[in-house]
Structure 1
Amino acid sequence: MDCNFSIYARSLTLESLDLPSSNIFPAFIFGTLTYCFILLFNMTVLLTIALNRKLHKPMYVLLFNLPLNDMMGASAFFPQLVSSILSQNRSITYSACFVQALLIHLYGAGTFLTLTAMAYDRYVAICCPLKYNTMMSPNNLLKIIIIMWILNVTLIGILLAMNYRKEICSTQIVDIFCNNPSLMKLVCEDTRVNNYYGLFVMTFFDGLSLLIVVFTYVQILITVVVKRQSDARSKAIQTCGTHLIVFLCFEFNTFFAFIAHRFETASPSLRRALGASAVIFPPILNPLIYGLKTKEIRENFILFFHKVFPQKQKNKLVGVKH
């Protein structure tokens, strides 16, 4: 396009949701309730881990980062979405779009890093049990968490900063929410460097996480099957199954969303659906999967619930007696 626009406070237009007028209010209610449930589920996991000393172990301290990531991603996506549904206004300022894209990419990369660190923790616990307390000491655990967040903020910050230009040649965001690929398509200048760096960041977070998780689970499988350690087998079944389900769901979701953005021939509807699903489903499913499948979290949540609402339980019993 020939026209160049200043990006400062410039209004952009997000992809239309194509909602019939009869579906606007139900969609608004559904989106609002979904966001509220995400906050409730993830806050429950956070409080359960934070308020129970029995869960102050490396595995659960690392898990603590997952609901934080999920709430960050959901908070970047849902408020803007439901407000635009109600107002039927799909415009957003460039600055707000940039912040939304930054938070969503921090969410995605942070999830990969957290799940990778959790895979390493399970590898040490099952394959090197005698060294576990040393390798996963509080100091080493703190270093792992700090490195995770520094890598996340640095690599994603640079990725988005490369697109924050003074001039853009379009105001149409080709997605229902802001992300790096859609922002890159607005820039007038040559974006090959941005594209190469984006591929590097995607390979680093997605590919490296996959390699580490595959390596750790192969080692765990060898320890469990080949060495026939019954204790290790029991521990692996209890702690690794949940992690693997969460990781594979997120891995496949983000991979297909990435592929859909890279190929121009991909259906726009499919691209939008895959992109939105990566932000919607993990924050809902992760706390449910960990809450229902992880025995220690489930038991401690029940204890926490009884501690928070003891009087209600007593009142019910009194009512039954009368």
Structure 2
Amino acid sequence: MEWFNSALGRNITFVRPPYFKIGGFGEVPNIGYYFAFLFCIYILSFVGNTVVMTIILLDYRLRSPKYIVVFNLAFVDLLSSSTMVPKTLDIFLFNHRTISYSDCLAFMFFCFIFISMQSFNLVVLSYDRLIAILYPLHYHVKVTHKRILYLIAFFWIFSVTTTFCAVTLLTRISFCKSVVIKSYFCDHGPMVRLACNDITPSMVMSGSLPILKLGCPLVFIVATYCCIGYALSKISTFQERMKAFKTCTGHLSLVAIYFFPILVVQITF
């Protein structure tokens, strides 16, 4: 652990710029026209998630374990969009690409928590679909309120703890190469690459967190649907297979909507 302690550099004065510049939108043409589109999407997301949460709270028939996860997913999606969209709208409308050092770290902290929680909620929903199709007679035994709440609580604690460690390590970095973050928001990896001192702990976090929070959940979901597909192939009639598969279409749509933009961002940067 000596390398870790030395990298933290407790007696070192770190170079912390007053602001960073978001450089991901630099080559987007006519960026101001995207404001109306993104604003409408945000309003629809805000209203839609609010309606979903309200219906689940008011309708006692929707107090099943599955809808606890759906409520948490809508809640996290609402917080995530409310964290990311306002700054993006500010860039689109006023071309304000700068963000202060402290605001950037706070933005990253909350943004990464909500992004990872969306991923973990999809994992819990895939577990729900797996049990419902493979073990329908044992569904109410294996998928209980208590078990789902424990899973959600564990993922919240894991997301907050790991994100806090990653952001805390960034405060021990000297930024003396540039203040331009080559991403669409205050992203961890592009910020680490701006450092000029020992960044080994931050690089470890930068490499491991995407695997733990995005890669592993995606692998689990894919493996889940491989098992579901195998189970559906054993059903005798086509109508029954389609009936069972239709219960998964909503979840599959959410998986595609969530992971596709993230993969695009990772490939781009």
- TM-score w.r.t. the length of structure 1 is 0.70
> Which of the residues 143, 148, 152 maps onto 1:136?
143
RMSD over aligned Cα, in angstroms?
2.8
Specify the code of the residue in structure 1 equivalent to 2:264. F
Following superposition, the deviation at residue 178 of structure 1 comes to: 1.2
2:253 maps to which of 240, 245, 251 = 245
- Amino acid aligned to 2:127: Y
SS of 2:20's equivalent in the other structure is strand
C-alpha separation in 2, matches of 1:252 and 1:22: 24
Q: Unaligned regions of 5+ residues in structure 2, if any?
A: 1-12
| Cα distance in structure 1, aligned partners of 2:239 and 2:149 | 28
Match of 2:153 in 1: 146
Provide the residue aligned with 2:223 in structure 1. Answer: 215
List per-residue Cα deviations over 1:266-312 (Å, max 9, x = no partner): xxxxxxxxxxxxxxxxxxxxxxxxxxxxxxxxxxxxxxxxxxxxxxx
1:76 correspondence with 2:100: no
Q: 1:56 to 1:201 in 2, by over 3 A?
A: same
Provide the rounded CA distance (Å) in 2 between the counterparts of 1:224 and 1:68: 32
Asked if structure 2 preserves the Cα contact closer than 8 Å seen for 1:13 and 1:171, the reply is yes
Aligned partners of 1:121 and 1:136 also within 8 Å? yes
State the partner residue of 1:12: 20
Q: Could you tell me which amino acid in structure 2 is paired with residue 65 of structure 1? A: N
Unaligned 5+ runs, structure 1: 262-322
C-alpha distance in structure 1 between counterparts of 2:222 and 2:21, whole Å: 41
| Corresponding residue number in structure 1 for 2:95 | 88
> Is this contact kept in 1: 2:80–2:111, CA < 8 A?
yes
Change (3 A) 1:135 1:253: same
- Give 1:21 shift: 11
Task: Map residues 246-261 of structure 1 onto 2, 5 A cutoff.
Answer: 246-261=254-269
The 3 A distance-change label for structure 1 pair 186 and 48 is: same
How far apart, in 2, do the equivalents of 1:221 and 1:208 lie? 20
- Aligned partner of 1:198 in structure 2 is 206
TM-score of the aligned structures, taking structure 2 as reference length: 0.83
- Cα pair 2:24 2:182 within 8 Å, conserved: no
Structure 2: how far apart are the matches of 1:21 and 1:250?
25
Cα deviation, residue 90, structure 1: 1.9
Distance 1:14 1:193 in 2: 24
